[in-house]
Each structure stands twice: as C-alpha cells, then as structure tokens.
Structure 1
Amino acid sequence: MGKSVRIKSFELVAQDISDVDVHLLHALSAGVGWPHRPADWEFLRQVGEGIVAVDEIGRVFGSAMWFQQSEDFATIGLVITTTRSQAQGAGRWLMAQVLERCKVSNLALNATKAAYPLYLSLGFEHEATVFLNAGKVSAVPELGPAQGSLGNLPVSQIDEIMDCDSQGFGVNRAPVLEKLAETSSICVLRRDGKVVGYSMRRPFGGLEVIGPIVASNDEDAIQLAAWHLKTMKGCQVRIDTREESGPFAEFLTQCGLAPVETTITMSKGRRFLNRSATAPWVFALAGHALS
C-alpha cells in the first residue's frame, strides 16, 4: 500500500512518531477515550517504534506502534484513528505501513471489538480475551503464608526475573522489562533462592497498573498481586488479565477490581499464547501494547 492515503479532500502521510509533539498524541488518544497521558506516550516512544498519519499542516489523524520483544517477535499497539479518518480506511493503511516496516513474521496485539474485523482480514487469529479489571481497591482478603519468600527487587537486580519471565511470556523481552523497571515497584517470589514469580506496579493513565504478574499458579499470582494491593486501599488500580474465572480472577473481584472492558488477543505467524500446566504464565499483562 502507498506511503500516503487520501481522506476526502486532503492527503495523509506517514511520519515517524518520535518527531511529533507528544501533546498531539495525547489529544489523539483522549479523542477516542483512551487514558494515556503525555508521560505514558513518552514512555512508549522510548521502548517502541511507530508512525503517525499527518496532513499537510501537521494535524495528527492516526497512530500505530510496534514493540520489538525479540529478534523474531513484536507486539503492536496504539493503533488509533480519528472517526473521520477511520471511515476512509486510515486504520487499514496504518496497519499496512506497520506490517511493511516491522521486519518480523511473528506478531501479536490486543484488539478492541471495533478493530477486530480489520485484524482478522489482515490474517491475525483469535487467541484469548483480555479482561480489564479496574476500580478502587477495597479490603484485600487475608491470605495464608506464601509458598516461598516475597520481597522487593531493586532495579539493579532486574536480571533475576528474566528467566521466569521468558518462560511465561515465550521470548526474552529484557529491554522492555528493563525500561518498565525504571518506573516500577517490583515484588519477587523466591523458592529455594530461585525467582519463581514476580509482579510490577507503576503509574499509568492517572491510576496504578499492576502488571506484568508472572507466576506458575493462581496462588502465587494472588500473593504477588496482594503484596502491592495491601498498601493501596482506596487507590484506583487496573490489572489486565486473561483469567476469566478461577481463584486469581475471583481475588481481583474481592479487592474491588471488577472487569470493566475486554479486548481480544490475536496473533499472526506462530501462536503467541502457549500455556503449560507446570511453567510460569502471564497472569497480568504489562499493558495492551506491550502484552
């Protein structure tokens, strides 16, 4: 598809997202009801690449980003178009630019219901539903002792979680986690001195996000979430999970974090989600764009 697209009486061209005023990106996401603050956009521009659709006077009509997680795998996110440009095919054009520029064959994304048909038509396949659990933290249920030791992990020791995360996520995404860690509080669960699970908490969109949470079972995931939540009563918190039911999902609801929205995890190339009964699993996402 061409490097430009005509929208009625004007033409849009692709421009590197790093060259655009962050406040224009904030206005774009706010226009579709997404919570990203300028600081959130700045963070995402540091860890990923992207393009924006702009007209001849620099107005932004759309965006799309991709995040290289490993040599052969990337996640796609922040695919946003204004209502005016979406009706004229700007979303499809933006995705064509991403697929051309992102030089990997294995991709994943989390699709809104509105964008789901577009991604299906581009060869992405449905894998799972993501539940955005959010709300004001109420009382956190009393838990028994963790099976192992829970504690804070300094950023300088971030390498200790990489093996556990790689098993759960499927690839080694060290650069992304290292950047996340700079603004996160990190809890790790150790058994026999080995990290078997971890959780991160950071500010996003005017609230606190807990994620990723990587653990081998619901009980460990609950302990890793509770480590943060027990100090956050009355705070607005968000946890994105693919757990529709079971102990972890029930625990979030008990804490006041009910599902308020869903998206759909999709992949192109090899399958993204490959859960094993004994290996670590991503119980909470780092974010819809980072997965």
Structure 2
Amino acid sequence: MGRTVRVKSFELAARDINQVDVKLLHALSTGVGWPHRPKDWDFLRRAGHGIVAVDGIGRVFGSAMWFPQGREFATIGLVITSPRTQAQGTGRWLMEQVFERCGDRNLALNSTDAAYHLYLSLGFTKEATAFQWQGEVVATNPALPVLDGELRPSSAEDLEEIAALDERAIGINRHRLLALLAENASICTLRRRGEIVGYSMNREFGRGRVIGPIVASNDRDAIHLTAVHLKALTGQFARVDTREQTGLFADFLQQSRLGMNDTVATMSKGKRFLNREDDEPWVYGLAGHALS
C-alpha cells in the first residue's frame, strides 16, 4: 500500500506521529468530539506507535496508533479522520498502513458505530460490546457485598505479581503498559491468603479520571476494587469502561449513578481476543479504548 493517498484535490502522506506537534493531535481529536487532552496524547505516544496523515503544508487530517504487546499481538486505536476527509477512503488507507507495520500480529480494537462497517470490511470480527459509564461521583455508594480478602494500596514491589495476574486475565503480557500506567495511577490490590487476586487502577484521563484496568475473578471482587476508587473521587468526574452487560458488577455501576454514555464494539482480526474461563481472572474494566 502506498505511503501517500490522494483525497479530493490534495495528497496526504504518512508521517510518524512523534514528528507532529501534540497541539495538532489534540485539535484532531477535539474535532470529532473525543476527550483526549494533549497529555493523554503524549502518554499514548509513549505507550505505542502511530502515524498521521498530513498534507503538503503539514496539516493533520487523520491518525492511527497501534500498541504491540509482544511479537504476536497488538491493539489498535486513535483511528481518526478529520470531518473534511471522512468517507474519502482515508480511514481505510490509515488502517492499511497499520496492517503493514504490524505484520502478522493478531489484532484487536474497540470500534465506534461510525467505523464498524469499515472494520468488518477489513476482516475484523465482533466479539463483544463495551459500555462506557461516566459522570460525577456521588457521595453515597450502593451497598457492597461482603469483602473476601484485604484491599491494600499497591506498592512498586507488587507490579510483577499484578502483571502476572493481568496476563492470566487477558492472555497477553502487558507488563510494559502496566508499568507506564502505574507511573501516574492510584492502584489498589485485593489479597487473599497473601496472594494478589485482583487489582484496579485510577488515573487522569480526558474530562476527569478513568478507573481501569480492573481485573478480578468474580463480580464481588470487581465491585470492591471499583468502589474503593469511587469513594476517593466523590464530586469528581469518573469513567469506567466494561464489557459486563448484566450481573452484579453492571448493576453496581448503574446504582452508583454513573450514566451509560456510549458503547463500542470489541473486534479482533486473527486469533480470538476474549477468552473467558470460569473462576479465572477477567478484565472487568478496560485500561482505555485504545489499550483494551
């Protein structure tokens, strides 16, 4: 696939995302109503790789990023085309650039409604729906189930054990990503008999705070790992992205008076991405749409 594409009367070229002023990336995401701040873009550029579509005078008309997790897998995100170039083939061209750079990796992404049919045409298959719960955190949380274990703030020494638990939950090694997230996150762990059986992170993003990833072996554990952060965020804007549509955890989010703001489709190309097993750790809360 060529490194340039003609859109209407001008030609766009692929440029490394790190060569572009973050203000231009922020303007691109703002133009389509996404909440990413300049510092969010800076973090994502540290966490992964990306390209932008620029014209001859350096204006940015699109972006796409990929986040390799080892040699066999990557997530894709921040696939944005400016309103001027939507429906002009720019999104497909950006994705083909990503495919070229990702090689034969298995891929996963979270698709908006607008991009869903494009991803289907590129060979992605829908696996699940992710629900975006967000709003101002109220002072009174719903009643919590009985806690089985001990909730503790995380220390630097916990990261190896957290990463091992996370790998059991998602099937890929995200140690590097978790270390980056941990730099500016509040982290809580759940221990039983001295072993970490769940964890959750709470960090700045967009309009406020994102609670995620949340990894636990059952709904009750996931509720406690989420509630501990909500209690600390009373009066602030918080967001939780989850693939739980029913059950105690989904009920808890609704009873917490967070609003269900939007949905995206979790899709994969190659090996199936989501493989849930009974009584095994599971990702109850996403790190972010681009990071999954």
Same fold (TM over 0.5): yes
Distance 1:47 1:36 in 2: 15
Deviation string, structure 1 residues 30-69 (Cα, Å, up to 9, x no partner)? 0000000000000000010000000000000000000011
Q: CA 1:89–1:230 in 2, change beyond 3 Å: closer, same or farther? A: same
Instruction: For residue 198 of structure 1, give the secondary structure of its aligned residue in structure 2.
Output: strand
TM-score normalised by L of structure 2 = 0.98
Partner of 1:58: 58
Partner of 1:178: 179
Distance 2:51 2:192 in 1: 44
Distance 1:70 1:273 in 2: 17
Distance 1:58 1:87 in 2: 21
Partner of 1:133: 133
After superposition, residues 31-42 of structure 1 pair within 5 angstroms as 31-42=31-42
Instruction: For residue 23 of structure 1, give the secondary structure of its aligned residue in structure 2.
Output: helix
Partner of 1:96: 96
Instruction: For residue 97 of structure 1, give the secondary structure of its aligned residue in structure 2.
Output: helix
Q: Give the CA deviation at 1:143.
A: 2.2
Partner of 2:119: 119
Partner of 1:194: 195
TM-score normalised by L of structure 1 = 0.98
| RMSD of Structure 2 on Structure 1 (CA) | 0.9
AA partner of residue 269 (structure 1) = G
Distance 1:46 1:174 in 2: 14
2:31–2:83: 8 Å Cα contact kept in structure 1?
A: no
Deviation string, structure 1 residues 251-290 (Cα, Å, up to 9, x no partner)? 0111111211000000000000000111100000000000
Distance 2:6 2:159 in 1: 46
After superposition, residues 158-237 of structure 1 pair within 5 angstroms as 158-237=159-238
Distance 2:156 2:195 in 1: 17
AA partner of residue 247 (structure 2) = G
Instruction: For residue 134 of structure 1, give the secondary structure of its aligned residue in structure 2.
Output: strand
Partner of 2:43: 43
AA partner of residue 113 (structure 1) = D
2:62–2:80: 8 Å Cα contact kept in structure 1?
A: yes
Instruction: For residue 158 of structure 2, give the secondary structure of its aligned residue in structure 1.
Output: helix
Partner of 2:272: 271
Instruction: For residue 84 of structure 1, give the secondary structure of its aligned residue in structure 2.
Output: coil
Q: Give the CA deviation at 1:142.
A: 3.3
Gaps of 5+ in 2: none
Identity in percent: 62
1:129–1:264: 8 Å Cα contact kept in structure 2?
A: yes
Distance 1:104 1:194 in 2: 36
2:201–2:212: 8 Å Cα contact kept in structure 1?
A: yes
AA partner of residue 107 (structure 1) = L
1:127–1:273: 8 Å Cα contact kept in structure 2?
A: yes
Instruction: For residue 232 of structure 2, give the secondary structure of its aligned residue in structure 1.
Output: coil
Instruction: For residue 168 of structure 2, give the secondary structure of its aligned residue in structure 1.
Output: helix
* Higher mean displacement: 149-158 or 201-210: 149-158
Partner of 1:26: 26
1:239–1:285: 8 Å Cα contact kept in structure 2?
A: yes
Distance 2:233 2:68 in 1: 32
Q: Give the CA deviation at 1:144.
A: 4.4
AA partner of residue 6 (structure 1) = R
Partner of 1:240: 241
Distance 2:192 2:61 in 1: 50
AA partner of residue 25 (structure 1) = L
Q: Give the CA deviation at 1:104.
A: 3.7
The size of the alignment, in residue pairs, is 291
1:155–1:182: 8 Å Cα contact kept in structure 2?
A: no
AA partner of residue 114 (structure 2) = A
2:71–2:105: 8 Å Cα contact kept in structure 1?
A: no
Partner of 2:15: 15
Partner of 1:3: 3
